[in-house]
Structure 1
Amino acid sequence: MDLNAKAERSLITTYRKPIWNRFIGGIKDYQLIEPNDRIAVCISGGKDSILLAKCMQHLQKYSDFPFSVEFLSMDPGYRPENRALLQKNCDLLQIPVHIFETDIFNIVADEKQSPCYLCARMRRGYLYKNAQALHCNKIALGHHFDDVIETILMSLLYGAEMRTMMPKLHSQNFPGMELIRPLYLVHEEDIIRWKHYNGLEFLQCACRLTEREHMNPGSAGKRAKVKALIRELKKDNQQIDKNIFRSVHQVNLETLIGWRCGDDQHSFLDNYNRKENNEGGSHMSIKTIKADHAPGAVGPYSHAVLAGNTLYTSGQIGLIPESGAMAEGITAQTKQVLQNLQAVLKAADMTTDDVVKTTVFLTDLKNFETVNQLYGAVFTKKPARSCVEVAALPKGALVEIELIAAK
């Protein structure tokens, strides 16, 4: 068995539980890959990105749905020996990589305040641009579990805010592009073990700033210091890293002094002095929900309203969000209605599993069977439902569905 075959096979044998299962778990938990995605897997030459490339190659062979991958690498000004090692490893592991060149290292070399931040922003911009040239709609980066928890602490200790490295993001400057992090649940120590098991050697970073830090340990960057802090804390509690990770999945807003969402700033004082209403009940928070990937409202209403923990949606018809046109035929309209409702649920941080009641409106009950089959494939938990025949629906729609969901 050659080295490439051994390295790939070890992912589903020796390292199935710590690497492969967590890789698949992250993709499913955070819905990172969808049918017909074209993903640019970004390769820096380090252990993380090469492992990601091998995982994506293997997944593509056995995926339940079709998607395609391209392998993209940027040379930001590597030394010749580092560029050669990157190419050697890609050849050795049969990764057909596209390499393009930039001058980023020279540009950020004299940056005093935040060279790593500037470098990362510039690299990402170049990666998005070149991924688009390959007709990709997503870029995949090799950030792993340890990167995530280190970022949480760095933001807290150095940035004076609580934030994390997200498993996926919409690009702000490249419309239609997304960034995904499929190794989000994979621990760095397991990546290192996989590397040693297969006798592989990768670039450590190849960044000139990092090379200076290795020669002068006293100048170690903030991430290295936070990594050392976590390592020290784990001597007393082996769950420290997992607890940090879980903390951002279980944020209790009732115990925070302030928080923001987009441009909206909130304080615990906003609701602190609100008294019980005249009937003796406590005040219920009400929030308007706007979904970016559902068609815009065609009247004075919102996509949904979240009252306490209960979501009430407006009815959705088969309008295509991108064009505003009506899908043609009952099958296409029903599929679009269900997609629109799922977009609204997602905007409210809910899923179809949270739906407790739906109401279906049809202009012709002869279409019931078609709608019922498509509906059943989405609402697998079988929420309560009503179905009503109506004389007409807005814009000549054949079907409209509204729902109630609760957490």
Structure 2
Amino acid sequence: MGHGRHGVGKSEIVYQLADKLALILGDKFTNEWGKDYIFPIVERRASQMADTGDVIGVPEPEVSQFGRVTNFAPMAWFAQACSQPCILFFDEVDRANNDVGQAIMELTDSRKIAGHYLHPDTIVVAMVNGGSYDEGNSYQVRELDPAEYDRWWHVTLEPSVEDWTTWAQGNVNPVIVEFITHNKEHLEFKGEPEPNKVYPSRRSWAHFSKCIDLCESDLLSSDEKGKVSMDLYYIGEGYVGQEAAIKFRDFVEKYDAQVTVKDIFEGKRQEIVSAFGINESNGMIDKISTSDLFKEPAKLSSEEIQNVANFVVSISPELAMKAWESLCRANGDVIAEMWSINISPKGEDNKTFGNYIAGIVGNNDGDKSEEI
């Protein structure tokens, strides 16, 4: 059972598992069903189930050796989960009424309902909004009693901003991805919400992106005076709220002045890069480390590696360390080449990128020693 705030991608995770589970389950499964087996997703919204009949099925009278009896014919969705390997996905379990919640208990404990057993390789997954992170009790959900709770394996889903920007590459309008990279605080709202007020979420940004892409007029274009249509703000306000919509429209008007990853690789727009503050530098680090232009298995030319090294050296030592760590995780081979790159101005003694990073690490260790 996954616990997480609305819009973090709980359902998306389940669907991403469909083509990966076969290999996760190993040889015993793939020998029978094949490595390319894609698990069907059988999704049921527990919140839409009216009573136990929606879970256990409908009575079906028949004649047996004991006389006339009644059995329960399973619902079509459950029959599928019994006949083939699939992911049986119950969403919004903590929004189901109590009767439905009790009816699901037999399934989560014994993998059967009314005598019908799940296929041995069917995986049961549930997602809920309620959890220990919801200290303000913002969600109108029921608490699972100890017996219900004990029948599941639990995980709290807290994806980072970088997780979202990585997923958003190719799924969300690149201008929105750029905006969130530079304005992480606007990705989602985590405070105590006011009633009937629109707040941004990961999901609402994705919906806003679809609206931008489907709009016949180019909402992201500027007029001859460099102004972006107010329609962008009005539509954005409905999806992500007033504060984020204002900030996003302002960002779009200044988008042409934004520095791209390619600009860094090519050593361009140095007049803008040299004026970067902490937020801009931090945002650029994230952009480079999550860009397909940099991440493995990307290959960079010697000139591009030199320009990336020059950028890292130009920012504060603290951010340079963050850059080194993030870029190492994204593409260790490029960083290995960067280690011996000369970063000294012409006419000065040779100093490599590796020397520079080692010097920062040494200073940090020295500072800690003095504090001790």
Structure with the larger helix share:
2
Which is richer in strand?
Answer: 1
Please give the TM-score of this superposition, normalised by the length of structure 2.
0.28
The higher radius of gyration belongs to: 2
TM-score norm. by structure 1 comes to 0.26
